[in-house]
Amino acid sequence: MEFPKELRYSQEHEWVAVEENIATIGITDYAQEQLGDVVYVELPEMGAPVTKDEAFGVVESVKAVSDIYAPVSGTVVEINISLPDSPETVNDDPYGDAWMIRVEMSDLGELGDLMTADQYKKFVAEEQGEE
Amino acid sequence: MPKRTPLYETHRALGARLIEFGGWEMPVQYTGILAEHQAVRTRAGLFDLSHMGEIEVAGPRSLDVCQELLVTDVAQVRLGQAQYSVLCDPEGGIVDDIIGYRVAEDRYLFCVNAANIEKDYDWMSTHNRGRADLINRSDEYALIAVQGPQASPIVQRLTTLDLTHLRRYWSVSGEVAGVSALVARTGYTGEDGFELFVPAQLSTAVWTACLDAGGKEGIAPVGLGARDTLRLEAGYLLYGNDIDAHTTPLEAGLQRLVKFAKEQFLGREALLRQQAIGISQQLIGLKMVEPGIPRHGYVLWHEERPVGRVTSGTQSPSLGMGIALGYVPPACATSGTELAVEIRNRRARAQVVPRPFFRRD
């Protein structure tokens, strides 16, 4: 399982890559592994507002429906339009081609609530231990 | 504490992801649902179905008892033959759907759903009234299925039985991998294949022999996740989802099973009555016209009105679209009828289509 150092992570298993005030968001390697084969992805529209800890989209595996939660608040300025047509990308390349949305952040302070790669790795290990 | 099949440790060693299903801890997937689904459609898959129950009805009056318990005409079932049927209650509701195997002149083996074993045994005992010998053999048997276009050559390699003459819905007793087995040409996938009833304590040997024998064909262990997508594509019903005590065989599209010519069987009067006045809900197949995956419980709409619910649904791996079973009034059950599925407060267009969704040519 991969935990890229340069990313920040949420407790709901989303990752965030920050460049100035733009956050690129996707779901983590652990999340895709837990979901199994992803067969459907639903993303918000351009310009849609997203709020930290609220659902902005949905991923569905063969077995289950899961909300994707916004790790930061802001406005959607870009969406990965090719993802709904190739949902399997979420399994194949969760940190790369399966990025989901780019958000212009409204509160940079929210980044402080996210975990570093090391913290998230520990968080996942604890969650797995509970299973 | 969920129950475990005799193959539990084998599944763990194969790296299966385990879930609870019907009171059992079962593999939901080994490598991935889509890969396992594909293995069964193109090559062969190996399933542990030991959670399923086996109830024997034996003795000189076994046929009478079966005739009363089941809606089908059991007198038509010849030695070695199998029959899909349902047990109904006096109101016509479905107690369980089963496959009955006639394994001897006056001995029938019912393969029943895992979650219904106790309920069925109690139900059968109540209505048996001491006429036949009823034995719950669920713990004695393991059930291993080999399904897929390559199932036949794989199982043939493990037995001296001539499987080319074993027709669909027939069974034969003999040794498989040196273990005495009831070999049935039945399944729940829409593919050719076999279900092997073997002694529980010898099941690991049979499982391993099947995996080894199918190495060349690329046989893969398959969990309950792909079992569900395979059965849904093939249009098979799942008890507890698509049928239960609140649905009758006439509503569930199983009217072909119900033999009113039999003088007496449980549910006969209620079903006759329902046939006369007509059903108010009918099982349909539907496919999505717009993107979205129909799921159990989602509301079905017809011309701006809620008319029913999805009972099973998935993204069909073979067809690449959402498919579902559900119930609607007969007026909107005709093939081609436009419906909508309510998915997260949005209505996605769908269409009533004939079942099965997928058929092997």
pLDDT in tens, A46-95: 999 999 999 999 999 999 999 999 999 999 999 999 999 999 999 999 99
**φ and ψ of B81, to 5 deg:** -85, 160
Best of B315, B341, B342 to mutate (most A CBs within 10 Å, chain A): B315
Indicate whether B199 belongs to any domain: yes
Chain B residues in contact with A39 (beta carbon < 8 A) = 34, 293, 315, 317
The counts of H helices and E strands in chain A are 3, 9
Residue bearing tokens 């498989």: B176
Q: Are A101 and A76 in contact (CB under 8 A)?
A: yes
What is the DSSP secondary-structure string of A68-118?
EE-SS-EEEEEE-TTGGG-TTHHHH-TTTTT--EEEEES-GGGGGGSBPHH
Put simply, the answer to whether A62 touches B28 (Cβ < 8 Å) is no
Q: Choose one of B190, B206, B233: the last residue of a domain.
A: B233
Inter-chain CB proximity B33 and A65 less than 8 Å: no
Residue of A36, A37, A40 with shortest CB distance to B293: A40
CB contacts, 8 Å: B293 with chain A = 39-40, 60, 65
Interface contact A39-B225, CB threshold 8 A: no
E strand or H helix that includes residue B322? strand B321-328
The answer to whether residues B177 and B71 belong to one domain is no
Q: Do B33 and A36 touch (CB under 8 A)?
A: yes
B105 with B152, same domain? no
Residues B40 and B65 in one domain: no
Give the C-alpha separation, B70 to B266, whole Å.
Answer: 7
| Interface test with chain B among A30, A59, A62, by most B beta carbons within 10 Å | A62
How far apart CA B95 and CA B47 sit, in angstroms, is: 25
Q: Are residues B175 and B78 in the same domain?
A: no
For residue B156, what are the domain limits?
A: 8-52+139-233
- Amino acid at the residue B290: E
Q: What is the pLDDT of residues A27-53, one digit of tens each?
A: 999 999 999 999 999 999 999 999 999
- Which candidate from A39, A42, A65 shows the least CB-CB separation from B295? A65
Of A37, A60, A84, the CB nearest to B293: A60
The reply to whether B205 and B68 lie within a common domain is: no
> Do B85 and B215 fall into the same domain?
no
Q: Are residues B197 and B91 in the same domain?
A: no
Task: Please state, rounded to an integer, the average pLDDT across all residues of chain A.
Answer: 96
CATH of the domain at B167: 3.30.1360.120
Q: Based on the domain organization, do B229 and B145 belong to the same domain? A: yes
Contact A99, A14 (CB under 8 A): no
What are the structural domains of chain A? 8-107 (2.40.50.100)
- B343 to chain A: closest CA residue: A65
Chains A & B: contacts with CB separation below 8 Å: 35
Residues B74 and B204 in one domain: no
Q: Which residues of A are less than 8 Å from B229 in CB distance?
A: 62
Do B200 and B81 lie in one domain? The reply is: no
Q: Per-residue pLDDT for chain B (361 aa), expressed as one digit of tens each?
A: 899 999 999 999 999 999 999 899 999 999 999 999 999 999 999 999 999 999 999 999 999 999 999 999 999 999 999 999 999 999 999 999 999 999 999 999 999 999 999 999 999 999 999 999 999 999 999 999 999 999 999 999 999 999 999 999 999 999 999 999 999 999 999 999 999 999 999 999 999 999 999 999 999 999 999 999 999 999 999 999 999 999 999 999 999 999 999 999 999 999 999 999 999 999 999 999 999 999 999 999 999 999 999 999 999 999 999 999 999 999 999 999 999 999 998 999 999 999 999 998 7
Q: Based on the fold, state whether residues B227 and B157 are members of the same structural domain.
A: yes
Spatial strand order in the sheet of B94-104: B82-88, B94-104, B107-112, B53-58, B133-136
Q: Are A9 and A2 in contact (CB under 8 A)?
A: no
Tokens of residue B31, six digits: 């490598």
Query: Which of A30, A33, A37, A61 should one mutate to test binding to chain B, selecting the residue with the greatest count of B CBs within 10 A?
Result: A37
What is the number of structural domains in chain B? Answer: 2
CA of B34: which chain A residue's CA is closest?
Answer: A37
Collect all residues with Cβ–Cβ distance below 8 Å to A98 and sequence separation of at least 6: A26, A27, A32, A80, A83, A89, A90, A92
The answer to whether position B164 is within a domain reads yes
The last residue of a domain, from among B233, B255, B271: B233
Dihedral Cα B256, B259, B260, B262, nearest 10 deg: 180
Query: Smallest Cα–Cα separation from B235: which of B135, B351, B357?
Result: B357
Rounded to a whole number of angstroms, the distance from the CA of A5 to the nearest CA of chain B is 28
Distance from C-alpha of A32 to C-alpha of B254, rounded to nearest angstrom = 39
How far, in Å, CA of B81 to CA of B78, rounded?
5
pTM exceeding the 0.90 threshold for the entire prediction: yes
> Do the beta carbons of residue A43 and residue A50 sit within 8 Å?
no
> CA end-to-end span of chain A, whole Å?
17
Closest CA to B66 of B133, B118, B141: B133
- pLDDT of A131 above 70: no
